[in-house]
Structure 1
């Protein structure tokens, strides 16, 4: 995995460096679509996908403010961040040639952002997921989709909910170079929140062994990413404990036959 995807300055550097290498006569829309791997997508979808980058300069400033000598860091990187904001504002002129964007910043901007990324990496731990970990999430999400589609008798609301989480994870993997690992952490938090609010979700899944196992494997793959973010030294037992927290409180156990007879 590209180490620069681990923090906001690195992701912004990587994007602007890519854009500088694009044909100046191509449109901004074409260049940004190429970066996203969305060459056939409508302009509105490109803007929606690129939107998280627009807030990166502010996120970088917040992280720099937390560092010692933040005034010196602001002096070092302030101009680069201002130019980056100008370059990102080209989302308003997507059909103009890339030279419009190139005129907003220069080689010094991307060099400064590269240095800024290294500065943040030293003082703010930034998780960099391994390609194998991301591939595992993609595989588990795809397996979950297949299990959902193959499950009979599953309530439509449950089917729609589970498909939504699986497709969201796949989408966030596709846009990993935009949002980084935080998007996958958000996916897990939303999934855990859904389970905690809706115990019936688990009771509807549990009877189907294949579907249940697919849900568990999917959440475990996301949990590995989460443990990377919150504790680089986490061991697999911690992940399993966290997994137990996810599912144990919501398991619905049917009363035994003897218990029924006593009622």
Structure 2
């Protein structure tokens, strides 16, 4: 389950998406997420699908690699779809059973939410798959630079978010190792009542917390040994450069946002 998680991973490729400025990619993802959940219009949703899959195809990342990483998230999307399918009671009756009735509105609502979640995860994953943690940190820090005027530690916040993203696959890998070790000792995570399964997770969570704190301590010692003392007075070896490619890509998504607002008023 945890072997192919792609959240927080970086895949080095020579693509136009990899060459984009991290600031433009962060703004694009933010715009896309906000306005994707503001519309229900088929034209705008179709436009969102086209933009997402065009960006993914231009990244040169194999789609099969993404699908492997979607296994666990697909379960969440599927249960979200079922929740809306069975809880929404609008439209005509499609299926009627003694304990369950499925309405056309439930199918539409469930499909809409599932599509939104899939596109959101695809676009957010594309950000981390095509951007190194260092560039991601620099991009976040530059975008939050105006907050320095109100004494917000922008560098530290950007660094924390970047480290958190980077540690997701590391911690999931540690979880997989601990689960396999416990199964080799006779632990069973797939049989018995819900309470027994939860109890079986305790031998996994405790060493996972211990490993997490140990990794955090090792990282802090390594940063101190290299003279890290916060963002004040730090210089950048690699300078971010905004290119015409970033302007063009951002313009496309701004157009998407504007059309979303227009069609929302027309609904």
TM, length-normalised to structure 2: 0.26
Taking CA–CA contacts closer than 8 Å with sequence separation of 6 or more, which of the two structures ends up with the larger relative contact order?
2
Which structure features the higher share of helix residues? 1
